[in-house]
Amino acid sequence: MPDESRILVVEDEAPKRRHIEALLVDLVPTAKLLFARSINSALDVLETGPIDLLILDMSLPTFDVGERERGGRPQGFGGTEVLRNMAMAEIECPTIVITGYEGFVREGGSTVDLAQLRNELMDEFPSVLRAVLHYNSTFDEWKTVLRSMLVETGLRKDPQ
């Protein structure tokens, strides 16, 4: 287990980001947490050096949203864009997708539910994708799965 693991959390919604951060601080207190709020900022951080775990939202803006900027076009499959860019740049790190949505609308108008998205992402990114989780602040299932993923990736010792 590395002395200081680097965990990148890519999430544009502050309340969700704070929930994930609080859990990570509790479960992996020695980890260095890095944050990005858009596709482009995520790719910038990924280029700074090895990341031990990527926690990735699916729906992301192209650029960071600022006081005078809207962040570019919101992308329902922004997380997929991050994964595809990682593959092209040969950046490999264990990735967990955590999304608040249970379904997504494709460009042509068809919808894909979370189970179908999970299957598609696992097929396209088998070497990096570890899980696709549904985030819901009122339920703890995402926390339980994230905790087990931290053990599986070696970032947390199994408390048993």
What does the domain layout of the chain look like in residue ranges? 6-152
- Band of residue 103 on the pLDDT scale cut at 50, 70, 90: confident
Confidence of residue 122 (pLDDT cuts 50, 70, 90): very high
How far is the C-alpha of 11 from the C-alpha of 20, rounded, in Å?
Answer: 9
Contact 86, 121 (CB under 8 A): no
pLDDT of residue 83: 96
Q: How far apart are CA 39 and CA 60, in angstroms?
A: 6
Is pLDDT at 97 greater than 90 in this prediction?
A: yes
Percent of the chain clearing pLDDT 70 (strictly above)? 89
pLDDT band of 156, cuts 50, 70, 90: confident
Q: The domain at 6-152 falls in which architecture?
A: 3-Layer(aba) Sandwich (3.40)
**60-61 and 74-75 strand pairing:** antiparallel
Residue 159: C-alpha distances to residues 22, 55, 131, 148 (Å): 19, 22, 21, 10
Helices vs. strands in the chain: H and E counts, helices first: 5, 9
Judged against a pLDDT cut of 60, whether residue 62 lies above it is answered with yes
